[in-house]
Structure 1
């Protein structure tokens, strides 16, 4: 007898099938989301973007003080997008910077890639404050293509672009009230031949650079004069025991006997955005990024070494750029208040007609040292962002044929940056020491007043 065997028909479970389909879609969607976020949320992309602006600043010969303005507004625009997208970890600068009005909030019902939007805001503002206006258009197109190629959904893309535009316009409107436009038509510096007063120096004999920069609205300082500097030693070349005479001779004697390392130090921190070279009857200019651009590069080095995430990277750049901006305003106020003569002018007139400094003397008064002030200010913020005693190697000058230098900390680099100007032959040591003291105070004030990250 053969046993009958029954075969049950498979039951089609529509609910299970639908759940499976939904699961597959969710997995696929999350993978695509992860794919495009790997691109747009990569802090290296922000570092590359800042460097892109740095290159445009270099190509268009922006003086150091104006360059600091380019960086600060672009970084603040980027940061405000990050703060809007992640208010649990980042605090808006509106109100912390007293004159910065609240930034429009994003629509909660719209999905926005805030990292991508921050990149675009940086570029839109950087594009507007540089000339020729539109210098970053091609790079903006590159960023958009990266996002699309990585699979960013069209609604997220459009929402992100729209919000970046809102924030960029808000920051640009605010920037127009900083007195920059008014200083474009302000009176020029009056050159006189009074002993001890700054006059143009060779080979360009250029007129004084931005004598009204101290009138620009600062970010954190209450005014350009908030951090005062003591009066420089009085001009005195008749008394060989005077502080001024000894300072002049120190610069000359150092310049006449520089070691290989001192020469490297002077060249490394030269940061001359527009050096005029004279060979016989021929004259030609060479370009490098200025001191603010150099410290933007250093901020990038710190971010990369600490493996900082996107938001932390943006915050570090922003805080450093604010310190640089305010430091230049304070420094330029002091410079044109003191109107101190450069070593080259004194040495070639009274000691050695043929003497020349290691690096080219810039076209503005000597006291206090701009490099010393801005470097110390930036170093304080980067120390706050990434820690003290963080040894690093700075190879950012290699594109100009200058070998890298290694430092034990940001503060050590800032100290060397100030001292390098004495070896370069363009500053007396007192201007560098005093400048570093002012810069540290400015940097500390920025760290104290601006709380970007919420712990």
Structure 2
């Protein structure tokens, strides 16, 4: 009888362990985190978030997820509290609580993503599907409830912290005043949209001490009378490039266009098309890097988080420089003084030219991804396939960043200097993020 009870106990424990292994195979799969980030990326796209605001969405959601992972594995991951000097200590898990930390990290990501996107609650259907799947995979109710509770506490903490970043105050800040002085930015066709987020340089950064910490040199002075001058030559270079693009250059410009809202005008009809923002594109690249390197769940979350912080700070710095320099776009100069019928290959976005945002954020992201996954990581980027744009192959993250910067010249929306300086600035920001934020404990 005693032997029979022992055997029955063993069978029961074996069944429980198998059940546990089943649900952990699901919740601990890094592919599930990549899917979760992509879900937020899709919502950002669908709701037409500008690139700077999108970067805020990614940063806070990923930080919430990462803090859960760090709490669950403090031997391998270090909390960002204190490393980001204004982030207060995150709530610790209740002692002996049965928490599935990867599952809790995704719930925390979604809860923050729900709150910082609009319409608020956009991720609720995905969350309910996720919860049902873990139940179907056999997660015990005690683990489920403890995970939900901890995820909620971390998400609330991160959301409370986020409210101090000056975002709400910039919603009611004064609008940009357009001046017609030569060399100054003015709205461009076909939307003639008002200046996008002129106060984004006032947002609180995470690693930078201030938006102005990394200054950029003044752009070349506007001068279209001196045909041997730096500015005139820059304008002519853009015009000549766009007028003679080859197939690969057009593909490059299309691939890195990343226009979150393009207005298409055909005769008297107009319609909008949407793509991932530049930051969203680099979130996809972060996922590709993690997948290629076969990163585990925690490493994947850490890479996304560090990349999203670099993007966030890079946009803040870049926008500070843009509205300080307030430089005119090539389209404005060329159509006014050279060829009134000329148009750039891609649509000019509604904010000043110098420095190139795509150059800054791409270089920053590339430095962080190189730090996380190594240099010379070859990959194929198929992020744009869903928009009908063929994939491109890259030998490294840095090569991709360099191409992203150059694509803006081919697209006809930036002078080369803005892309060169933008890349230099972005690299500095990425290196600062790598130095100041030590996520993994070696």
Q: Provide the rounded CA distance (Å) in 1 between the counterparts of 2:132 and 2:396.
A: 38
How far 1:28 sits from its partner (Å)?
1.1
Residue number in structure 2 paired with 1:392: 379
Deviation per CA, 1:403-446, whole angstroms, max 9, x where unpaired? 00000000000000000000000000000000000000000000
Residue number in structure 2 paired with 1:288: 275
How far 1:110 sits from its partner (Å)?
1.2
How far 1:23 sits from its partner (Å)?
1.7
Residue number in structure 1 paired with 2:103: 116
| Alignment size in residue pairs | 442
Q: Provide the rounded CA distance (Å) in 1 between the counterparts of 2:4 and 2:80.
A: 50
**SS of structure 2 residue aligned to 1:53:** helix
Residue number in structure 2 paired with 1:79: 66
Which residue, out of 310, 320, 341, partners 2:328? 341
Q: Provide the rounded CA distance (Å) in 1 between the counterparts of 2:258 and 2:121.
A: 25
Residue number in structure 2 paired with 1:148: 135
Please say if 1:170 is aligned against 2:137: no
Residue number in structure 2 paired with 1:228: 215
Residue number in structure 2 paired with 1:416: 403
Which residue, out of 101, 104, 118, partners 2:88? 101
How far 1:17 sits from its partner (Å)?
3.0
Q: Provide the rounded CA distance (Å) in 2 between the counterparts of 1:119 and 1:365.
A: 37
Q: Provide the rounded CA distance (Å) in 2 between the counterparts of 1:345 and 1:19.
A: 83
How far 1:147 sits from its partner (Å)?
0.5
How far 1:25 sits from its partner (Å)?
1.7
Please say if 1:92 is aligned against 2:79: yes
How far 1:124 sits from its partner (Å)?
0.3
Residue number in structure 2 paired with 1:20: 7
Q: Provide the rounded CA distance (Å) in 2 between the counterparts of 1:443 and 1:228.
A: 15
Please say if 1:404 is aligned against 2:391: yes
User: Counterparts of 1:55-70 in structure 2 under 5 Å?
Assistant: 55-70=42-57
Residue number in structure 2 paired with 1:358: 345
**SS of structure 1 residue aligned to 2:271:** strand
Residue number in structure 1 paired with 2:266: 279
How far 1:293 sits from its partner (Å)?
0.3
Q: Provide the rounded CA distance (Å) in 1 between the counterparts of 2:293 and 2:324.
A: 41
Q: Provide the rounded CA distance (Å) in 1 between the counterparts of 2:294 and 2:383.
A: 18
How far 1:29 sits from its partner (Å)?
1.0
How far 1:227 sits from its partner (Å)?
0.8
Residue number in structure 1 paired with 2:355: 368
Which residue, out of 381, 388, 403, partners 2:368? 381
TM-score, scaled relative to structure 1 = 0.97
Q: Provide the rounded CA distance (Å) in 1 between the counterparts of 2:117 and 2:41.
A: 11
Which residue, out of 298, 301, 310, partners 2:285? 298
Q: Provide the rounded CA distance (Å) in 2 between the counterparts of 1:134 and 1:64.
A: 20
Which residue, out of 235, 243, 246, partners 1:259? 246
Which residue, out of 125, 128, 150, partners 2:115? 128
- Structure 2 residues without counterparts, runs of 5 or longer: none
How far 1:21 sits from its partner (Å)?
2.3
Residue number in structure 2 paired with 1:4: none
Q: Provide the rounded CA distance (Å) in 2 between the counterparts of 1:20 and 1:154.
A: 26
How far 1:343 sits from its partner (Å)?
0.1
TM-score, scaled relative to structure 2 = 0.99
Deviation per CA, 1:198-224, whole angstroms, max 9, x where unpaired? 000000000000000000000000000
**SS of structure 2 residue aligned to 1:253:** helix
Which residue, out of 287, 304, 317, partners 1:317? 304
Alignment RMSD:
0.6
Residue number in structure 2 paired with 1:191: 178
How far 1:20 sits from its partner (Å)?
2.1
Q: Provide the rounded CA distance (Å) in 2 between the counterparts of 1:379 and 1:17.
A: 61
**SS of structure 2 residue aligned to 1:397:** helix
How far 1:150 sits from its partner (Å)?
0.2
Larger Rg belongs to: 1
How far 1:107 sits from its partner (Å)?
0.9
How far 1:452 sits from its partner (Å)?
0.4
**SS of structure 1 residue aligned to 2:270:** strand
Residue number in structure 1 paired with 2:424: 437
Please say if 1:203 is aligned against 2:178: no
How far 1:18 sits from its partner (Å)?
2.9
Q: Provide the rounded CA distance (Å) in 1 between the counterparts of 2:224 and 2:274.
A: 35
